Copies of this chain bind each other. A is one copy, B any other.
């Protein structure tokens, strides 16, 4: 099974299992939300983990849909909290259907996630997966809260920043891998190794995301550079300067970010230059590489033949190779 085949199988499964019902006004926004697409990374990770231990990766399909529903629940609600107007070039759900629908559709996605999670599994396994799912669900809320609090704060330590992105983005792929492995028949120890792999991969991915937004090759990322700078986001790069720079450097950076005297292009260039000279660019790149190495070392520690690990490794390398 190639990654592409698994993705296709998942997409058909999602299409078949999208709930329909009355009133239509409740279900149409849910379908819009779930079909905005995206890379289906979390269900893919889950199914690849199932496939490590059982050739019938399809056994993980309901749980894979559960993590995708959960992910979309967070998008629906976070977009309201962050006042985001578009996602992947289309209006966010609350912009298209109104605030009440944005909230209610997120709620429905979360409830369906729980429904799908336990479907068709032996009760004791289902209850074990529930505990994992509840654990990361609470953590994702904690991460969102911390992220909002950081916007109001001047100073953030790197340790706090890493905790925030772990909760907000890394625990979900980690939990997806752990769940997928257990469905496939892995031991708790093996599933825990895959959880660590996912956590470190998730951290590396978010650090790379921060780095690419400021220093990436627009041809490769397909995104305009400097969005985070213009939104004055406290990315890992900024947090590095706040922690390791002198008080003057920190002040200088925050002033440049907040300045309304500079044109957009000037501001981006000034902040980029500053983040490079201060060592943040190199340091965050190195930190990301460290997490990627550690993630891959986790995979290597699994007692599995190289060929079996290949698809998961390829996906990880694809995800982490966006710098080209």
Interface residues in chain A, defined as those with a beta carbon under 8 Å from any beta carbon in chain B: 19, 21-23, 25-26, 73, 77, 80-81, 99-100, 103-104, 106-108, 110-112, 114-115, 118, 123-124, 126-127, 130, 134, 137-138, 141-142, 144-146, 148-149
Contact yes or no, B123 A26, CB < 8 A: no
Residues in chain B near residue A106, CB distance under 8 A: 103, 107
Residues in chain B near residue A126, CB distance under 8 A: 123, 127
Residues in chain B near residue A110, CB distance under 8 A: 107, 110-111
Residues in chain B near residue A23, CB distance under 8 A: 142, 145-146, 149
Q: How far is A137 from B126 in the complex, measured between Cα atoms in Å?
A: 19
Residues in chain B near residue A108, CB distance under 8 A: 138, 141
Contact yes or no, B134 A123, CB < 8 A: no
A80 interface neighbour in B103, B111, B149, Cβ under 8 Å: B103
Among A26, A77, A99, A145, which residue has the most Cβ atoms of chain B within 10 A?
A: A145
Contact yes or no, B111 A141, CB < 8 A: yes
Residues in chain B near residue A73, CB distance under 8 A: 107
Contact yes or no, A130 B145, CB < 8 A: no
Residues in chain B near residue A123, CB distance under 8 A: 123-124, 126-127
Residues in chain B near residue A99, CB distance under 8 A: 80-81
Residues in chain B near residue A112, CB distance under 8 A: 138
Contact yes or no, B107 A77, CB < 8 A: yes
Q: How far is A144 from B111 in the complex, measured between Cα atoms in Å?
A: 15
A118 interface neighbour in B19, B25, B77, B130, Cβ under 8 Å: B130
Q: How far is A26 from B81 in the complex, measured between Cα atoms in Å?
A: 14
The 4 closest A-B CB pairs, nearest first, are A123-B123, A81-B100, A26-B145, A123-B124
Residues in chain B near residue A25, CB distance under 8 A: 145, 149
Contact yes or no, A142 B21, CB < 8 A: yes
Distance in Å from the Cβ of A66 to the closest Cβ of chain B? 12
